[in-house]
Amino acid sequence: MASAGSAVLEGDAAAFATAIRSLINNPQFSDVTFVVGRERQEVFAHRCILACRCRAFPGVLSQPQPDAQEPQPPPAPLVLSHVQPEVFLAVVEFLYTNRVTLHSLTALEVLTSAVEYGLDDLRKLCVQFLKGALSVELVCEALQAAVTFGQADLQEHCLAFVEDHTREVVRTQGFHELSAAALVAVLRSDRLAIDEPDLIRAVREWAHVSSAVLARPVAEVAALPVRELRLPLLSPRELAALESLNQKDPLIPVEGIAEAWKCHVLRKGRGAPSQLCQRRRGTQPREHHSYLA
């Protein structure tokens, strides 16, 4: 607060911002160099700016005080092999200007770096961008990031998108690469626009991909997601076909199929947990649905 007889006056903010932006990745007067990514691209920066803008950097940038009487070699570059140069440059841009240029191909990785470096404002900007940039090809990667980093708002938007484009989404590579936890979040939705047999086929394909990646049995990697499949919604003919396929390609525990058969035998939904008898938005009507409720 200015005291009596004084005032705080501001100069040209745009000129100041332009001057600071000119320092981004500028080797002149820089005092720290990063070697970034597999390309080993050099990125030049200034310790004082990084340290005051990001709590993660002071420890990384600290160095012993040199002996003024002896010539000192230039500090060794800091190697960041795990991040793409364009992603790190986006982080640097934010640190220098409080603004960031995001692209759909790198926004998820910038979000990862924002979480890693504890840059909450950058994290919020990434989430805001991703919510507006969701597509059939991107949504599962964004959902996975939301689940991994606990971003509830982004997860909610991703799930809403999946619910509106379920048939297209389950055919993407991103769907097949979801973690079990992320897939469970999808399967718990009542608003998926897909019929249950098609959803079961999609989960089976996901399980085979995960099994190959994790080198674990299909039934083991799918243990949690298959609990969310709503087998009582299947007709007796569909359930019999699923049971036959399951003998050749085990995916669903025998108890789960038995519970679904019990619903048909008893002509009521008591044979399975109530949520497994709940029709989804895309569930096609079947004669026995009237007595599942």
CA distance 76 to 205: 48
121 domain residue, yes or no: yes
> Is 127 inside any structural domain?
yes
Mean pLDDT over the full length of the chain: 91
pLDDT at 204: 98
Residue 146 lies in a domain: no
- Contact between 128 and 142 (Cβ < 8 Å): no
Q: Is residue 244 part of a domain?
A: no
Residue 212 lies in a domain: no
**207 located within any domain:** no
Which band of pLDDT confidence, cut at 50, 70 and 90, is reported for residue 71? low
CA 244 to chain centre: 36
**Number of domains forming the structure of the chain:** 1
What is the arithmetic mean of pLDDT over 42-46?
A: 95
Q: Which residues of 176-193 are buried (b: 16+ CB within 10 A; e: fewer)?
A: bebbbebbbbbbebeebb
Q: d(Cα 272, Cα 20) in Å, to the nearest integer? A: 63
What is d(CA 85, CA 37) in angstroms, rounded to the nearest whole number?
A: 6
Question: What is the band of 66 on the pLDDT scale with cuts at 50, 70, 90?
Answer: low
Residue pointed to by tokens 């249950």: 196
235, part of any domain: no
pLDDT of 273 reads: 67
Q: How far apart are CA 80 and CA 212, in angstroms?
A: 30
Q: What share of the chain is helix, strand, coil (3-state, %, to 5)?
A: 55, 5, 40
Q: Which of 26-40, 67-81, 125-139, 262-276 has the highest mean pLDDT?
A: 125-139
Residue 69 pLDDT > 60, yes or no?
A: no
Residue 95 located in a structural domain: yes
Per-residue model confidence as pLDDT tens digits over 215-255: 999 999 999 999 999 999 999 999 999 999 999 999 999 99
Q: What is the CATH number of the domain that holds 33?
A: 3.30.710.10
Select from 97, 94, 78, 92 the least CA-distant residue to 37. 78
CA distances from 94 to 87, 99, 143, 191 (A): 11, 5, 24, 38
CA 20/CA 23 separation, integer angstroms: 5
> Which residue segment(s) compose the domain that 97 sits in?
23-57+76-133
| Residue 57's pLDDT band (cuts 50, 70, 90) | confident
Question: Nearest 5 degrees, angle CA 105-CA 199-CA 161?
Answer: 40
